Amino acid sequence: MIKHRIALAALTATLAAPLAQAHETWLVPSSTVLSSNGYVTVDAAVSNQVFHFNYRPLSVGQSLSILAADGSAVQAENLVQGQLRSVFDVKLDAPGTYRIAVANAAVMASWKENGQPKRMRGTQAEIAEKVPAGATDLVLRENATRIETFVTVGSPTELKPVGEGLEMVPVTHPNDLYAGEEVSFAFHANGQVAGQLKVAIVEGGTRYRDQLDKVELLPDEQGRIRHTFARPGLYYLNAVMTGKSPSNPDMERRMAYTATLEVLPQ
Amino acid sequence: MHKTVLLALGLLVAAPALSAGIEVDIELPRIDVADYRRPYVAVWLERPDNSVAANLAVWYDVKMRNGEGTKWLKDIRQWWRRAGRDMQVPVDGVTSATRHPGAHRLAFTAGDAPLGELAAGSYRLVVEASREHGGREVLTLPFDWPPREAVVREARGERELGKVAVHLKP
């Protein structure tokens, strides 16, 4: 019984984690622009303040993907999960833009079986298999998150859309951002233009100022936002889209996207 | 005294009817810090739309092993964006070693690399210096090409660059 309780508690924790809105999740690369091949190191954390390691490491294991400009996968090196952050190195040995991403997608189900509450997390197929026919009070929630950053050796190269989950499709290249110049990004949900979403941009270093100075933007019909970064620096961009799942009208869907962007001085 | 000599030299060079071209004077100030490193410097010509008309010179640490000196080329920030990131270094007649503090003169002949033939129009000569453990400075000298007569344009940097001059020869 105790074991069961612990298991349930742990399960509840895993269920709750992706739903928690209070925390920022991010990847911060040591450099975003390189003039020759080499390494960058990346910090990955869940925090209460943008780019400040003060809460939990971001669990990156299986969900980390690093793609080189030619689409080939790059293996992270020296991955360490500390108490407050995860760290890994990325070897960049070809020119072009690398996409570093941590993406997760799952469905959470809760229901009652003979009066007992049950929960599980998995793919839609897994859940369809496990939830018995006699289940009552079934609640399904789909959750997809993508956390990204970009690093370029030499000239920026085109970033092909992933086509899954909520993603930023660059109009302005994310490694070609300069203070005082208008930039534009589009958002896609599962490969389609995403209209109904909110985008927030926060400049790093919030702990050295009194106000969050969050900029909130709504995309146009093409799913595009426009913005001019006033100052150079590291920025946190977050987009959230909620609604019914198109695959199942009884399922709530929440998709979130986060990018760390470096804006360079002119 | 030193300046007078330089000026006189300049007149001597400019006086004979040589082929059209551009000369650039770049003064690197002596900076009194313990960890002084010679700056990376880029000199280029750009058009009013920021496109690059000619890459004239890039001074960087060419001698480091395994091309390690290229690692900091991106710190010549504006040049990196405008031209550097699309170039393969080294480039003959353009890239060379970093230089000591003092006055340096570069001469470029119209029709010859790296200046080449410049179409008539407005240009900016841009000189950017970036120093390890130090700062960065960009100076921009606008001019029209071709010049009707010998013209000198000057600017003075505040920290990383001293006097920069461009001599236009018709």
Chain B hits for A33, CB-CB cut-off 8 Å, are 74, 80
Chain B positions touching chain A (beta carbons under 8 Å): 67-68, 70-74, 77-78, 80-81, 84-86
DSSP code, position A172: S
Phi-psi region of B151 (alpha: psi -120 to 50; beta: other; left: phi over 0): beta
What gap in Å lies between CA A185 and CA A221, rounded to an integer?
13
Contact A35 B70 (CB under 8 A): yes
- Give the distance from residue A155's alpha carbon to the nearest chain B alpha carbon, in angstroms: 5
Asked if A151 contacts A92 with a C-beta cutoff of 8 angstroms, the reply is yes
Query: How far out from the chain centre does Cα A217 lie?
Result: 18
pLDDT tens, A131-178?
888 888 999 999 999 999 999 999 999 999 999 999 999 999 999 999
Contact A36 B86 (CB under 8 A): no
**Residue A117 bridge partners (DSSP):** A112
Please tell me the predicted confidence (pLDDT) of residue A130: 87
The partner residue sitting opposite A36, judged by closest CB among B71, B77, B81, is: B71
Asked if A83 contacts A8 with a C-beta cutoff of 8 angstroms, the reply is no
The partner residue sitting opposite A265, judged by closest CB among B77, B85, B86, is: B77
- Give the distance from residue B76's alpha carbon to the nearest chain A alpha carbon, in angstroms: 10
Tell me the Cα Rg of chain B: 16
Any B CB within 8 A of A179 CB: no
Instruction: Give the residue carrying structure tokens 């179409």.
Output: B119
Contact A35 B74 (CB under 8 A): yes
User: Which of B138, B142, B129 lies closest to B99 in space, CA to CA?
Assistant: B129
Residue in B closest to A34 by C-alpha: B74
Average pLDDT, chain A: 90
Which positions ≥6 away from A72 have C-beta within 8 Å? none
pLDDT tens, B126-139?
999 999 999 999 99
Chain A hits for B80, CB-CB cut-off 8 Å, are 33, 35
Contact A154 B78 (CB under 8 A): no
Any B CB within 8 A of A228 CB: no
For the residues B53-60, what does the mean pLDDT come to?
98
- Give the distance from residue B50's alpha carbon to the nearest chain A alpha carbon, in angstroms: 12
What gap in Å lies between CA A117 and CA A131, rounded to an integer?
12
Local confidence band at A78 (pLDDT 50, 70, 90 cut-offs): very high
Local confidence band at A20 (pLDDT 50, 70, 90 cut-offs): very low
Contact B85 A154 (CB under 8 A): yes
Tell me the Cα Rg of chain A: 20
Size of interface A-B (CB pairs under 8 A): 29
pLDDT tens, A110-138?
999 888 999 999 988 888 888 888 888 99
Element (H, E) at A126: helix A124-130
For the cut 80, the answer to whether the pLDDT of residue A251 exceeds it is yes
pLDDT tens, A177-205?
999 999 999 999 999 999 789 999 999 99
User: Which of B34, B33, B87, B35 lies closest to B60 in space, CA to CA?
Assistant: B87
**Residue B101 bridge partners (DSSP):** none
DSSP code, position A134: T
pLDDT tens, A82-101?
999 999 999 999 999 999 99
User: What string of DSSP letters covers chain B?
Assistant: -HHHHHHHHHHHHHSS-PPSEEEEEEEEPP---TT--PPEEEEEEE-TTS-EEEEEEEE--TTSGGGGGGGGGGGSHHHHHHTGGG-PSP-TTTEE----SEEEEEEEETTSTTT-PPPSEEEEEEEEEE-TTS-EEEEEEEEEES-SS-EEEEEE-SSS--EEEEEEE-
Please tell me the predicted confidence (pLDDT) of residue A46: 96
What gap in Å lies between CA B10 and CA B24, rounded to an integer?
11
**Residue A153 bridge partners (DSSP):** A34, A96
User: Which of B169, B135, B166 lies closest to B27 in space, CA to CA?
Assistant: B166
Instruction: Give the whole-number percent of chain B exceeding pLDDT 70.
Output: 89
What gap in Å lies between CA A208 and CA A112, rounded to an integer?
48
- Give the distance from residue B87's alpha carbon to the nearest chain A alpha carbon, in angstroms: 8
Whether the link from the prior residue into A18 is cis, omega within 30° of 0, is no
User: Which of A258, A250, A209 lies closest to A21 in space, CA to CA?
Assistant: A258
pTM: 0.86
Instruction: Give the residue carrying structure tokens 């595009």.
Output: A224
Average pLDDT, chain B: 91
Asked if A230 contacts A127 with a C-beta cutoff of 8 angstroms, the reply is no
Q: What is the dihedral of CA A162, A163, A166, A168, to 10 degrees?
A: 50
Higher pLDDT, B66 or A59: A59
User: B70: number of CA atoms within 13 Å, CB side?
Assistant: 18
The partner residue sitting opposite B71, judged by closest CB among A35, A156, A266, is: A35
What gap in Å lies between CA A59 and CA A45, rounded to an integer?
8
